[in-house]
Amino acid sequence: ADLVSFIEGLPKAELHLHIEGTLEPELLFALAQRNRVKLPYATVEELRAAYAFTDLQSFLDLYYAGAAVLQTEQDFYEMTAAYIAHCRADNVRHVEIFFDPQTHTERGIDIAVVFAGIARALREAQNSPDEHGFSSFMIMSFLRHLSEEDAFATLEAALPLREQYKDLWIGIGLDSAERGNPPEKFAKVFARCRELGFYLVAHAGEEGPPAYVISALDVLQVQRIDHGVRSEEDPDLMTRLSKERIPLTVCPLSNLKLCVVDDLAKHNLARLLHAGLAVTINSDDPAYFGGYMNDNYLAVAQSLRLSRTELVKLTRNSFEASFLPEKEKQRLL
């Protein structure tokens, strides 16, 4: 098979995906019209042309502005359903998606609306007959540019929904502007989430230093690191990540678009893999970064000349690194 068909044929899990980052310009415009939200762009093309980022913050500004068109349960449902259609096309069999309630509650949207719309699409996908099956989890993420008090308030608002969504909501994450917002800022709220029995993850080592990866592990006690590519700057950390098989959810096209690397051919994904780390490939915010899962796999396969064995290894890592029960993992591996 040619490389494209080979990649299409590999079953995969996606572990680093912000659902708000799947909002394509076409749907964004349609929702703006339906909800009478004014956009500073005249056309879909004009909006897409604005997706030229210089760093994480330049992306976040647009990403949060775009999310303002999401108002109703139906809006969250349609956005999530559109993402699931991409999963089916890309042979993604399991997803663990991030959502950022604070982006919505700040605008007066009820947190229950956010949960309901996303969960309806995920449950529908799970229950629809399909030759392989499709499973999903939700990871509620705190915005790190806001205070820990704000994160606690979000947790309090969400906890009454836990029973209703216990099949889906299994984890807590940390995202948004990394520099100047170290993991330890959220030590108390993560400790509380750990007591509550949630799986924990955090973005670290995307733009921030290796020290943030270390504090995400030691202070927040996360089970996975989102991005983590800057870990390579610290040899002791690399040894630890390899020994403990701590997964990194790497997002190649995101790293390129946000100028974490200036050329995919220089991306350290292959080196991290060869160093024995549990590296996975993910799309992060596909509507903004120019590609879904298979686009990410294909881009690195070509730029880094990955072998088919390495591509298989990356997909196996994605199931290994998931929060699926052991039995389910074995079935999917």
21 is a site residue for ligand HPA (CB under 6 A): yes
Number of shown-chain residues binding ligand HPA (CB under 6 A): 10
- By beta-carbon proximity to Zn ion, the closer residue of 73 and 178 is 178
The yes or no reply on residue 75 touching ligand HPA (CB under 6 A) is no
AA identity, residue 223: Q
Residue 206 binds to ligand HPA (criterion: CB under 6 A): yes
Closer residue to ligand HPA, CB minimum distance, 73 or 100: 100
Compare residues 10 and 216 and give the one whose CB is closer to ligand HPA: 216
Annotated active-site residue in 24, 206, 232, 244: 206
Residues 251-270 that bind ligand HPA (CB under 6 A): 254
Residue 73 corresponds to which tokens in the numbers above?
């349960």
The radius of gyration of the chain from alpha carbons, rounded to an integer in Å, stands at 19
Minimum gap (Å) between residue 132 Cβ and ligand HPA: 28
Give the relative orientation of helices 210-218 and 235-243 as an angle to the nearest 10 degrees.
40
Separation between Cα atoms, residue 292 and residue 24, nearest integer Å: 12
Q: How many CA atoms lie within 13 A of 171 on its CB side?
A: 24
- Strand 248-250 to 92-99 pairing: unpaired
Tell me which residue of 245, 252, 195 sits closest to 229, measured CA to CA: 252
Least distance between ligand HPA and beta carbon 255 (Å): 9
* Residue at 292: amino acid letter: Y
Q: Which is nearer to Zn ion, 14 or 24 (CB)?
A: 14
Amino acid at 102: Q
Q: How many residues bind Zn ion (CB under 5 A)?
A: 1
Residues numbered 274 to 333 that lie near ligand HPA (CB under 6 A) are 284-285
CA 51 to CA 29: how far, in whole Å?
A: 15
C-alpha 238/C-alpha 243 separation (Å) is: 9
Stretch that binds Zn ion, among 131-139, 147-155, 178-186, 276-284 (CB under 5 A): 276-284
The DSSP bridge partners found for residue 14 are 95
Closest separation in Å from C-beta 47 to ligand HPA: 17
Whether 206 is catalytic is: yes
Site residues for ligand HPA per CB under 6 A: 18, 21, 56, 175-176, 203, 206, 254, 284-285
Catalytic residues: 206
Binding site for Zn ion (CB under 5 A): 284
